[in-house]
Structure 1
Amino acid sequence: MSDHKVAYITGGTKGIGFGIAKVLLENGISVAFSGRKRDDVEKAERELKQYSENVLGIVSDVRSLESEEEAVKYTVEKFGRLDFVIANAGLGIFKPVDELTAEEWNDMIDTNLTGVFYTLKASVEELKKTEGYYITVSSLAGANFFENGTGYNASKFGVVGFTQAAMIDLRKHNIKSTVIMPGSVATNFNGNVPSEKDSWKIQPEDMGNLVLDILKMNPRVLPSKIEFRATKPA
């Protein structure tokens, strides 16, 4: 892609977000990404600069609208515009509902669902200017409930519903919107340490290539919801 396109990715210091950033940078898109921890942001920025110098790491917490507004402001100050927003930040805590604490529930809902709204709220006026693209990363858990998944399922079901309703509102402004629902991805999610045992899973760069394919689609078509899974689970 060309014409100086710019993306902002939440949760970009590792895993899916990092994989998306890497692929976009390799394909000529400038990338701003955010994470909660400064050390993680600085480390990821150093690593991503091997693919392109057009990268900006930002410390931001998606649970704060003000923080996301600042992140968008920094992105536009650095690159001059904003074309693509990928709301990827998320976390999972898996316990029986009678053992899940109110704090754990709130942390998942605030990060996984409210954070997706805050990221869009902070960026939508910039996306109107560029007739841009808004992508959220949900999960197959946004359509399939499972044991110990009450908080996570609730947040991810919510992301799917939110993004599809937002899609109807946003297309009136020529902004496209897609929710991606991946299955098992080889990341550090839920304490996993990626290794050869995860080779059957979706890899972070696979998510990056999917996002790139979505962004390259003809403007007349809109893949509003995509389920994305490993071909053959272990």
Structure 2
Amino acid sequence: MNLKGKVAYITGGTKGIGYGVAECLLAQGMKVAISGRSEAGVQEALKSLGDKENVLGLRSDVSSLSDETVAVKKILDKWGQLDLVLANAGVGHFAPIDEMKESEWHKMININLNGVFHTLKASVEALKKSEGYYMTLASLAGTNFFANGAGYNATKFGVVGFTQAAMLDLRKYNIKVTTIMPGSVASNFNGNKPSEKDSWKIQAEDIGKLVVDLLMMHPRTLPSKIEVRPTRPDLK
């Protein structure tokens, strides 16, 4: 597939994995819309990316279907098509279940799980027209549970199940659907600032290259669920 001129929408695209994917797609000649909950964060990312012609910044909270519907409309108004949607936005709060706050539980459900539904619901008709690609950014936490992770595990298990069922629903429209499940990533997740201490981890651009590889794969072949982890975990 020639990716030049194709249009992508990345939620949570102002930093971390989403930002890294945006850079890789732009390098392939794609037009990329990125969204985030903070207008200041969106503007900072736009300034950093620098490509005013091929980048669109959108303030959108994925926990709101109306926000996502408006975001997709703006993309279609600007570029007339939508070929790839990457539902990447996510948050994490980690605590024993008896100490987890109700507000933290609901925030993870609303962003991590409801968000992937809202993003797909808002974009699915455009993806039908383009016979496009819908991807979710899940996690190895979507198949491996761990202590203090009840809320995060619940959302990521849900994302994996949602995406796999959506794949079965949408492939009759020639829409490809994949969930990507990374392990440790050097990202801005939970306020982390990537540094040399994260050099052993998957890098954001590694996920970006993976997304490009998926887009370039022959239309007859669909890797519907991909686990990806560091080659050598931190042994310190």
| TM-score where L is the length of structure 1 | 0.98
Distance in 2, Cα, partners of 1:127 & 1:177: 11
Counterpart residue number, 2:27: 26
CA-CA distance at 1:26 after TM superposition: 0.6
Structure-to-structure mapping, 1:164-183, within 5 angstroms: 164-183=164-183
The reply on whether 1:11 has 2:12 as its aligned counterpart is yes
Counterparts of 1:137-176 in structure 2, within 5 Å, are 137-176=137-176
RMSD across aligned positions (CA):
0.9
Question: Structure 2 CA distance, aligned partners of 1:82 and 1:191?
Answer: 31
The aligned counterpart of 2:85 is: 85
User: Which residue number in structure 2 is paired with residue 45 of structure 1?
Assistant: 46
Residue 67 (structure 2) aligns with? 67
CA distance in 2, matches of 1:79, 1:48: 19
Per the alignment, residue 58 of structure 2 pairs with: 58
Aligned counterparts of 2:53 and 2:229: Cα–Cα separation in 1: 32
User: 2:111 corresponds to which residue?
Assistant: 111
Which amino acid counterpart does residue 46 of structure 2 have in structure 1? E
Using the TM superposition, give the Cα deviation of residue 54 of structure 1 relative to its aligned residue in structure 2, in angstroms.
0.2
Give the secondary-structure state (helix, strand or coil) at the position aligned to 1:167.
helix
Write out per-residue CA displacement over residues 108-140 of structure 1, whole angstroms, 9 at most, x where no aligned residue: 011000000000000000000000000000000
- Aligned residue in 2 for 1:224: 224
Q: What number of residue pairs does the alignment pair up?
A: 233
Q: Provide the residue aligned with 1:199 in structure 2.
A: 199
Residue 188 of structure 1 aligns with an amino acid whose one-letter code is N
Q: For residues 168-209 of structure 1, give each alpha carbon's deviation from its aligned partner in whole angstroms, at most 9, with x where no partner exists.
A: 001011100000000000012123221101001000000100
* % same residue: 65
Separation in 2, partners of 1:189, 1:116: 17
Query: What per-residue deviation string (whole Å, max 9, x for no partner) do you get for residues 45-77 of structure 1?
Result: 111125x73000000000000000000001111
Pairwise CA distance, 1:80: 1.2
Can you give the 5+ residue segments of structure 2 that lack an aligned partner in the other structure? none
Contact kept in structure 1, 2:75 and 2:82, CA below 8 Å:
yes
Question: Secondary structure, in 3 states, of the residue corresponding to 1:32?
Answer: strand
Deviations 1:1-55 (A, max 9, x none): 34521000000000000000000001111000100000000010111125x7300
CA distance in 2, matches of 1:48, 1:212: 18
**Structure 1 runs (4+) greater than 6 angstroms displaced:** none
Q: Kindly provide the amino acid, as one letter, of the partner of residue 93 in structure 1.
A: H
Distance 2:99 2:193 in 1: 25
Secondary structure of residue in 2 paired with 1:145: coil
Letter in 2 for 1:219: P
Check the 8 A contact 2:4/2:28 in 1, yes or no.
Answer: no
Partners of 2:64 and 2:191 lie apart in 1 by: 25
The aligned residue for residue 100 of structure 1 is 100
The runs of 5 or more residues in structure 1 that have no matched partner are none
- Distance (Å, rounded) in 2 between the aligned partners of 1:87 and 1:206: 17
TM value normalised by structure 2: 0.97
The 3-state SS of whatever aligns with 1:43 is: helix
